[in-house]
Each structure stands twice: as C-alpha cells, then as structure tokens.
Structure 1
Amino acid sequence: MRRWVFAALVAAAAPAHADWTGKGEAGLVFASGNTDTETANAKLQLTHESDSWKNTLGGAALYASDEEGKTANRWEVFGQTDWKFTQRNFLFGAGRYEEDEFSGFEYQATASYGIGRRFFDTPTTKMIGTLGAGYKFFETRDSFDEETGVLIEEGDSDSEVVFRGTLDLDHQFTATTNLINKFIVESGADNTFVQNDLSLQVKMTDVLALALGYSVRYNSNPPAEFEETDTLTTINLVYDIK
C-alpha cells in the first residue's frame, strides 16, 4: 500500500502545469565495500490556488538499510484546503497520515481545522502560520527488551483531541538562494508530535535546485524501547513543477 499511495502522488504531478504548481525532490546514497548501505528519500508537494481557495497535497518517503537490515522506513501523505476570507486570513481543514516502522507507532492519522494568517507575503519573504484543533488516531507497536527479547509493552490503538499549529517560512537571500523552514506541532493528552524541516536551496537552473536539509521529529511519549527524537540530514535534487 505504501508504494501505491506514493506512486499516485508522483503521478499527480504529470498534469500540474497551468493550474497546479509545486516541488518534487529526491536523494539517493549507495555505499559498498567495507560497509553496504542504501538510503533514499523523496518529497512531493503540489498547490492549486485561486482568489478564494488554496489546495495543497503532498507526501514524503524515507528508506535506509545497512548490512544488518532496514534502519529507516517511513512514509506520509498530507492535504490541506484553505478558504481566504480576507487578503491575509483564512480558514483551513487539514489531514495527515504517516507510518514509521522505527518510531514506535504503527501509524498516526490526524484531521484538523482552524484559522491561519499570512504574516509576510512579499517577493522575498513569505511567512504563514495556522492554529487549530482536531482529532488524532494512532496505534503503538509492541516493545521488546533489546537483550532478552521479552515483551515489555503491548501495542494499542487509541485516539485523542489535539491542538495543531504550523509555521512556514520561505526567505529569498539572493536570486538563487532560499531558506525554507516548515514547523508543525500536534499536541494531545497522550502524545505531542513535533516536526521541523529546515532547507537551504540553491538554484542551478530555472527548474532545478540543490537542497541541503535538516529535519527533526519528536514524539513526547513513544512506547518503551523507542527514542523520542529522530533527526535526518539530506542533500537532494529539487525540481520545480510549473
């Protein structure tokens, strides 16, 4: 299912010309010899905007392995619809679903709504924030002792009300260099999820850029044996869909 969903998102980029715009990026690393490693990551985001509405959809995937097996395996899809009731303010409805084999959660799915504002919207700086509430469904994985293999904690399904906030920044330093930061927090009684993606992009052509990225993901209450924080550093090729 994971491959089919992400393939559908990639296929959606095909007709994205006059009406849809966006970015797709990917990076691959292969090493062999004394160590054998494979790492791949991909992202896609598409946007359609009119005078009153803005629709965004996208997805991301990460896979890594070494001689002992998989070390990362994650994918997510997301979507958001904005209704602009003033030039800078809007109401939104959003959804997000992810599966991460190494996070301690089988899946996390969130549906939310709220209000947003364009704080800055100039040719060089764009900053957009949202604040809202929603409902999250999630399932935790079984936890085992690393030394004995004994079951520590059984996985369980649950749901909760969450408060959601986002802050997106895109600042253009020069004609070819952009700093992009995307922040999201989903906070509930059982768990708080935080993700921050920072990227420095340098254009090589009108449609191609090189991006150096650093991502931090945090779950405040993962199952036993699993870490709270994951980080990822990437060097990707970015393609502008126009």
Structure 2
Amino acid sequence: MKNTILAASVATSALFLATPANAELPGPVRAMIDAAIERGDEEAVRTVIDLARQTNPDDGAELDTILSDYEADLAAVAADAAAAEAAAIRDAGLFENWTGKGELGAFRSTGNSDNAGVTAGLKLTREGIDWRHKFRARVDYQETAGVVTREQFLAAYEPNWKITDRLFAYALGQYERDRFQGFSARYSTSGGLGYDVIDNDSMALSVKAGPAWRRTELVGGGSTSRIAALAAADFDWQIAENLVFTEDASAFIQGGSSTYISDTGLQAAIAGNFSVRLSYTVEHDTDPPLGAVKTDTLSRVTLIYDF
C-alpha cells in the first residue's frame, strides 16, 4: 500500500517538473525520465538520470534540479506514510497490533521427575511508539497411571518503555507453580533497565537487569519473601534462511535459594507459518525445599505457529 501511494504521489509530481528552467534538456531524454518517475521505480529513475548525464554533459544543472525535486517528493511521501503508520499505532485498540507464536509438543524431564509429557506455550508481543508489551505462558504436564508426575505452570507479563532506540526500562510480573520443585506458588516482580546490544536482520541480543522481589509459597506449608536481583539475556541468531538458534538465560540472585535458568533452542521452518523447535532447558535452584533436587532439565520438541 505504501509503495502504491508513493508511486502515485511521485508520478503526479512528475507532471510539474517540466518547467521552463529545464527546457534545454532534449525532449526524448526528458520523456524517458518522466516515464521512469511515473512507473514509481526509484532505481530506474536514478539510472536514467545517470545515463542522461553521460549523454548530455552540458545539462547537468537541469538534471540536478530534476533529481532534487524527485528526492524531495520521495521524502515528503515517506514522511506522510510514517506519520500515518504512527497514528494507526497510537489509535490501535488494546487487542490490536499483537504478534506472537503458539507452541504444542512433548517433553522429557530429568531431576525432580523422570518422565515424558505434553507441553504448551504462548508468546505475545505488542510494539508501540514508546511502549513494548510482552506476555508469555507455559504449561508442562504429565500423568502416569492416573498420578500427576509433572505439573509446571508459568505466566509472565513485561512492559517496556523505550527511552532510546536501544535503551529501555522494564517492569516484570511473574507467576510460577511447580509442586515437584517444592513450591505451590512463586511470585516474582522486578524493574530496571535493558539494552538491545545487537538488533539487525540476522541477529538480536537484548539484556536487562534490576532489583527484584520474590515470594515463595511452599508445598509443605509456610512461605518466604526475599529481595533479589534479576539479570537476563535474550539472544536470537538467524543461522540460515529457515533455521534460528535461540538462547534465553535468566538469574534471580537472592539470599536463600537463587534460581538460574537457561533455555537453548533450535527452530526450523517447515511450511508457511509453521516451524518445529528442539529445546533444552536447565533450571538450577541453589537451595531448594527439602526433598527437591537442585537441578531440573527439560528436553522439548514442539510445533510452533507464528501469527
């Protein structure tokens, strides 16, 4: 749509470029330039003007004027399109402009439980002018002979305020439940600063850190509340056209039991919006509740749908 508007605007402006100041330029040459402008092909316009400079060296000033007017039209149309896009984002409703991915698959765990089960996940992102919103949720569940042997839930919401193109402030609210790790509920909140260290078409690295607070409600009764520090990194690498390597790492460091998590994945596109992901997650608690081991690992195979 933007290209169509651009082509139409520039083509219209081309009708007004033939002023008496440019009358010395040969008619056929000028007709070629006008035709390229009307087509809305910027590369063709610049190529024709470059050729015209070679064949008509005495008309350089006139060609400079034509090119300058053309570039001014391009800039004006681009500015109008950017303003329209920004207005659309600002006027979007609460449930608009979200993108994300859903996952469904199987897992294999070792540590506090040694079994296989089903896993499901959801990640959502909403990019605004000054704000970015992230939501993620995951469920891992398994039963053996009618007895639950794995039951892990996680839900997290993180708004970001964009201070600059790369620097942002974040807030985080997170809920977890894993009875086999010894807690019926664990609530975490954090706020701090983040920075997009790398942000290009093939690679992205974002880091963040800040103070945190965690409350853990134990399966056997009782609870603990701790002031903590959060540090996290999110790395994505487009290895090939249809292959992406991901690494998400986080650390809640506190008195008592600190938590370190690493989730390493390899995602391959298979058809359309569908892809398959292999991942390996390690979660280590330095001082888990009585009866729980310190390290859990989880191997997942999931089918992903991007939307």
> Structure 1's 210 and 16: CA in aligned 2 closer, same or farther, altered over 3 A?
farther
Give the corresponding residue for 2:130. 52
> Structure 1's 139 and 17: CA in aligned 2 closer, same or farther, altered over 3 A?
closer
Aligned-residue offset at 1:120: 0.2
1:76 aligns with 2:142: no
> What do the CA deviations read for 1:67-106 (whole angstroms, capped 9, x no partner)?
3722210111001011111111000111110010100112
Larger Cα-atom Rg = 2
Task: Name stretches of at least 5 consecutive residues in structure 2 with no aligned partner.
Answer: 1-92, 108-114
From 277, 281, 294, the counterpart of 1:215: 281
The aligned runs of 1:70-149 (5 Å cut-off) are 70-142=148-220
CA contact (8 A) 2:270 2:276 kept: yes
Query: 2:289, 2:181 → 1: CA distance?
Result: 9
The aligned runs of 1:1-242 (5 Å cut-off) are 19-28=97-106, 39-67=117-145, 69-142=147-220, 155-241=221-307
Tell me how many residue pairs correspond in the alignment. Answer: 208
Aligned-residue offset at 1:18: 5.8
CA contact (8 A) 1:119 1:129 kept: yes
**% identity of equivalent residues:** 26
CA contact (8 A) 1:105 1:222 kept: no
Moved over 4 A (4+): 15-18
CA contact (8 A) 1:166 1:182 kept: yes
More helix by share: 2
Query: 2:299, 2:94 → 1: CA distance?
Result: 29
> What do the CA deviations read for 1:197-225 (whole angstroms, capped 9, x no partner)?
11100001231001111011111111121
Task: Name stretches of at least 5 consecutive residues in structure 1 with no aligned partner.
Answer: 1-14, 30-36, 143-154
Query: 2:156, 2:146 → 1: CA distance?
Result: 32
Query: 1:218, 1:88 → 2: CA distance?
Result: 31
The amino acid that maps onto 1:72 is: R
> What do the CA deviations read for 1:131-189 (whole angstroms, capped 9, x no partner)?
001211111222xxxxxxxxxxxx32121101001100010001100001111111111
CA contact (8 A) 2:106 2:300 kept: no
Query: 1:237, 1:167 → 2: CA distance?
Result: 24
DSSP 3-state at the match of 1:102: helix
Please give the root-mean-square deviation of Cα atoms over the aligned residues, in Å.
Answer: 1.9
The amino acid that maps onto 1:177 is: L
TM-score calculated relative to the size of structure 2: 0.65
Query: 1:59, 1:238 → 2: CA distance?
Result: 14
Query: 1:59, 1:199 → 2: CA distance?
Result: 17
More strand by share: 1
